[in-house]
Chain A
Amino acid sequence: MGLAARHLEANGIPTVIMGCAKDIVEHCGVPRFMWSDFPLGNSAGRPFDIESQAQTLALALRLLETAPAARTTVSSPLRWTADAAWKHRFLDVGKLSPEEIAERRKEFDVVKAVAKAKREGA
């Protein structure tokens, strides 16, 4: 998405990215980034919470209007939970047994083969 935003912007169309993966988006280097400290998959606000979604979009639109320069990030003040426990659960390899690792490796090989077949058939 970062690459698409860069391309649009370089060709004269202002952009804003709404997302959760702060390090990945900022590593790419994008014009404007509206960041929510929420689990990946909630770039546009909290599920079933219209107020949260409206507030996130409102900030993104303000950012579109007011960013003074490229690589401007605005952070949503919204919190997923009061504490940070959820942040430890994403792709937590520490808790996997060798059997689980072997199993996931096998699953990922299957997923890769499926993606490859689909890509080449596309």
Chain B
Amino acid sequence: MSVPRIQFASEDDVPIRYMDRTREYYQTLGFTPYRWAHFTDAPFTPLSTPLARARVALITTAAPFQPEAGDQGPRAPYNASAKFYQVYSAPVDSKPDLRISHVGYDRANTVPEDVNAYVPLTRLQDAAAAGRIGSLAPRFHGAPTNRSHRVTMETDAPELLRRCREDGADAVVLVPS
């Protein structure tokens, strides 16, 4: 008697192990491996304002287009000269031209031609218009992609907190690219 075949997903259809893949890649190139931030616990603050009345802020790692900083187009190779090392802020209604040539996104599988796939600014504006969130904070903020954990923790994160408080944010959506 034959047992009905169970249709499991393919064995390799699992989350990509980015840390292993990246470690192996840079070791093959002859570089020392990067150490990723790691904690076994995490802080937690429940949302105390109903979302329909909450002011929501957006933080992105995308960079404003810099005319002098070389190729930042959707097919640009990794472009370190387009990186930024200080927190920046810009009005959410300024239609910002935000690019990601300065980070290691998946260049083998995607072409970042639609900013809405990596910065949900317009979708958040839709959510505010629909009353799903109370409002979008007046500015969004840019977080540097610094390899130094110390700079991120001691300089950039406190600066982002300061700016989110200044804007009266009740909650924050953070979107790495």
Q: What residues make up the interface of A, taking CB atoms closer than 8 Å to B?
A: 1-25, 27-31, 35, 37-48, 50, 53-54, 56-58, 60-61, 64-65, 67, 69-71, 80, 83-84, 86-93, 96, 101, 104-105, 107-108, 111-112, 114-115, 118-119, 122
Contacts and interface: CB of A to CB of B under 8 A. Distances in A.
Contacts of A16: 171-174
B8 interface: no
A112 B108 contact: no
Given A38-B110, A105-B29, 16 more contacts: A3-B157, A8-B160, A9-B43, A24-B19, A39-B105, A40-B105, A44-B117, A50-B123, A53-B116, A70-B41, A84-B10, A90-B106, A90-B108, A92-B108, A104-B29, A107-B77
Given A23-B18, A27-B37, A39-B109, A11 B161 contact: yes
Chain B residues touching A, majority SS: loop
A42 B110 contact: yes
A9 B170 CA distance: 11
A6 B15 CA distance: 23
A19 B160 contact: no
A71 to B, nearest CB: 5
Contacts, number: 252
Contacts of B110: 38-42, 47
A91 B36 CA distance: 17
Size range of the interface on B? 35 or more
Contacts of A48: 113-114, 117
B42 A1 contact: no
Nearest to B78: A111
Contacts of A71: 42
A1 B174 contact: yes
Interface of B: 10, 12-22, 24-25, 28-31, 36-48, 51, 59, 61, 77-78, 80-81, 83-86, 100, 104-106, 108-114, 116-120, 123-124, 126-127, 132-133, 143, 146, 149, 152-153, 156-158, 160-161, 164-165, 169-177
A27 B17 CA distance: 11
A114 B80 contact: yes
A13 B172 contact: yes
A44 B175 contact: yes
A18 B120 contact: yes
A42 B78 contact: no
Nearest to A83: B10
A108 B30 CA distance: 11
